[in-house]
Chains A and B, each alone.
Chain A
Amino acid sequence: MAEEHSQNKISRKDFLKLGSAVGLALVASSVPAAVALAGEGKKQDKELKYKEGDDVLLRMQDDLNRALSRPQEERRWAMVIDLGKCVGCFACTIACKAENVLPPNVVYRRVLDLETGRYPNPRRDFVPLLCNHCADAPCVTACPVKATAKRQDGIVDITYEKCIGCRACLNACPYGARVSDFGQFYTDKTSRLQDYETRPAYEYKKARPRQRGKSPIGNARKCHFCIHRIERGMLPACVSTCVGKATFFGDKEDQASLVAELIAKGKVKRLKESLGLNPRVYYIGLEEVRL
């Protein structure tokens, strides 16, 4: 047993050799990209093709700027989530909460934490869930007052001032992506509401300080792909904070965009595709997850 153990053990010398090799490989692989970015400038950026190791945030920012230069009706925003890269850190959930000043009981982006399989083949998967911005959205059909509508660029939005709070859309959504704002505050039942709860949120490009009796309290709420950010040239909060760089965003109509490229590779799947709702959130590696 001791002999077997000593055979499997890596000696200090071997370990140092291995470490040096890995280090050199990493430095070598990063040099061309760094040289390309620093030396060739903007022209090079446009020609950049996404490869493993490239900075996807720069690429997506470039895609976003290009998309915004075109009229809204020519854009189709889409999100691609690589489940193989998601580390389950929940940074996207927290970033979304902070960005949209979400109160208690309101969440736009959850992350499923699934433990499946049995020893010796157990697995753990993380599946971020959000509004799928379906092309044929059942929530749009269910809304009796047209408060939920599909924008020309494919984003399903909610006009808070129109919403009557009937919650028909909550039951219509097969993804459980919608929630109702029942008007709670984290500092309810304390001497005073804290400023961080009443500061304005900029959802749908309008500053709304959270006040009792005012929308979005009493409304249905959901992910809106951070319209207020993307139309100002910023990526959605969940994308820019993704630790594993697993979330990609862009215009899928733009063939040069990263999301279009990832979708075109054909390795993407969508949730509950059999319902025929044509969702705009794509997943890489979904077929391996036992949902």
Chain B
Amino acid sequence: MIGLTSFTNLTSVVPWGLWVAIYIWLVGISAGSFALVVWGNLKGNPDLKKITRLGITLSLATLLAGLLSIQIDLGHIERFYKLFTSPNPDAVMAWMIWLYGIYLAILAISLLWFKKGLSKSFLLFSFIFALTVILVESLLFAKPAGKHWHSLIFLVHFLTSSLVSAIAGLILTVGSLWAKSEKERLLKGLSKIALALISINLVVEIIDIILLKAISHPESWFLLLGNIIAISLLLKPNAGAITLAGGIGLLEALLSKYNSLISAQIVEPFKGFAQAYIEPRLKFSYAPNSFEFFVAIFLVCLAVGLFYFLYKVLPLTREE
């Protein structure tokens, strides 16, 4: 059995494409939203406290869809189990799998026992663990010495864009599902957190763009524009604008992750390397094909569907 990669536009130069971007984006939303709601409980933030179960459910749905996206990206899907049976303790990817296992358990415990009350030490551990998931995931990309990810700012940017996608995801779900009576007040509270996170992310993104000498790239300006539009919408006091800002924040985070993932891979290890041997799947460019787009849309729909299913099954917005 082989993976679906044969049907993609992936190359040996860009072996990680749209599906990996979707994976890091979804896992970023998952770990970020969990970290935020747990932090809200630790600090006693009333808005984040109120949406704790919603946040945990969002984390669970996006994590499961994210893990599926990385599984279908494998060249040999049927050998996925080898990550558990013969893991390499030196590999960041093996650590990721172990972390996801523990993280899934934490999410399940949090979801099931939340009503009974979770201890402060468990919440603190969960908060640190969620941030660890993001940071270890970023190490997967920061480690390759031959690639442009090899900078400290990438780790910081990875964290800030994950937190932006998380708060944007929370805003979008609250804006779409929460009861009208409380929605506006809740969204106003969340928009303040979003404003702070997007502003920090904007600064980090500017530094990243300057360091990568990507100021002339149109996608850099597109990303900066996304941040600015989201900030200006968050400053408006109505629920619709804030919800829209959430949608834009989510999209901006996805594009940001896609951009840093792809552009960093298109680096010649030596001058003239691209011309040394020319074949279609050795070329120094990448654009996803329609199959990759369809699968990516399916993965996002799966995350939304999974979330909606859990939302219907569990009393997410009613009991608090």
Q: Interface of A with B (CB < 8 Å)?
A: 93, 104-105, 107, 110-114, 127, 129, 138, 140-147, 162-168, 170-176, 178-184, 212-213, 215, 217-220, 271, 275, 290-291
Q: Are B144 and A182 in contact (CB under 8 A)?
A: no
Which residues in chain B, 270-308, are within 8 Å of chain A measured between CB atoms?
A: 270-273, 275-277, 279-282
- Residues on A with beta carbons closer than 8 Å to the beta carbon of B90: 140-141
Q: Which residues of B contact A220 (CB under 8 A)?
A: 75
Report the stretch among B80-88, B218-226, B231-239, B312-320 that lies at the interface: B80-88
**Shortest Cβ gap from A104 to chain B (Å):** 6
Task: Provide a sorted-by-A list of 16 A–B residue pairs whose CB atoms are within 8 angstroms.
Answer: A104-B280, A107-B279, A110-B273, A111-B276, A113-B272, A142-B93, A143-B91, A145-B82, A145-B88, A164-B79, A176-B13, A176-B268, A180-B12, A182-B5, A182-B6, A275-B145
User: Are the CB atoms of A168 and B74 closer together than 8 Å?
Assistant: no
Candidates A93, A163, A178, A290; contact of B277 at CB < 8 Å: A93
Contacts of B144 in A (CB 8 A): 138, 142, 171-174
Across-interface contacts of A182 in B (CB, < 8 A): 5-6, 10, 281
A204 → chain B, closest Cβ, in Å? 17
Q: Across the interface, do A144 and B97 meet the contact criterion of CB distance under 8 Å?
A: yes
Number of B residues whose C-beta is below 8 Å from A?
48
B1 touches A142 (CB 8 A): no
Q: From A97, which residue of chain B is reached at the shortest CB distance?
A: B277
Q: Please state if A175 and B83 are interface contacts (CB–CB under 8 Å).
A: no
Cross-chain contact B279 with A129 (CB below 8 angstroms): no
Q: A163-B76, A164-B80, A180-B10 are in contact. Are A291 and B270 (CB under 8 A)?
A: yes
> Which residue of A104, A172, A176, A213 has the most chain B CB atoms within 10 A of its CB atom?
A176
Specify which chain B residues have a CB less than 8 angstroms from the CB of A127 in the assembled complex: 270
User: What residues of chain A lie closer than 8 Å to B15, measured between beta carbons?
Assistant: 167, 170-171, 180
Known: A105-B12, A112-B272, A172-B146. 11 other contacts (CB 8 A): A129-B273, A164-B76, A165-B2, A165-B75, A167-B75, A168-B93, A171-B16, A171-B265, A176-B269, A180-B12, A218-B5
Knowing A164-B79, A166-B75 touch, does A114 contact B271 (C-beta < 8 A)? Answer: yes
Query: Using a CB-CB cutoff of 8 Å, which residues 57-85 of chain B contact chain A?
Result: 73-76, 79-80, 82-83
Quick check: A183 and B275 within 8 Å, CB to CB?
no
A184 near B272 with CB under 8 A, answer no
The residue on B at minimum CB distance from A277 is B145
Docked CA distance A111–B276 (Å): 6
**Smallest beta-carbon distance A84→chain B, Å:** 18
A172–B93 CA distance with the chains assembled, in angstroms: 12
Q: Is B92 an interface residue (CB 8 A)?
A: yes
Q: Scan residues 2-50 of chain B and give those whose CB is less than 8 A from a CB of chain A.
A: 2-3, 5-6, 10-13, 15-16
- For residue B277, which residues in chain A have a CB less than 8 angstroms away from its CB? 93, 107, 110-111
Known contacts being A145-B88, A176-B269, A218-B2, is A167 close to B16, with CB within 8 Å? yes
A113 to B280, CA, bound (A): 19
| Residue B94, interface by CB 8 Å | yes
Cβ–Cβ contact A164 & B83, under 8 A = yes
Residues B74 and A165 in contact, CB atoms below 8 Å apart: yes
- Complex CA distance for A215 and B82, rounded to whole angstroms: 15
Closest to B78 in A: A164
The answer to whether A219 and B76 have CB atoms under 8 Å apart is yes
Contact of A107 among B83, B93, B282 (CB under 8 A): B282
Q: Is the CB of B88 within 8 A of A183?
A: no
Q: Once bound together, how far apart are the Cα atoms of A175 and B146, in whole Å?
A: 7
Enumerate chain B residues within 8 angstroms of A93, measured Cβ to Cβ: 277
CB-defined contacts of B12 to chain A, threshold 8 Å: 105, 170, 178-180
Considering only CB atoms, which chain A residue lies closest to B2 in the complex? Answer: A218
In the bound assembly, the distance between CA atoms of A220 and B76 in angstroms comes to: 11
Question: Is B120 an interface position by the 8 A CB rule?
Answer: no
A145→B78 CA distance, assembly (Å): 13
B140 at the A interface (CB under 8 A) = yes
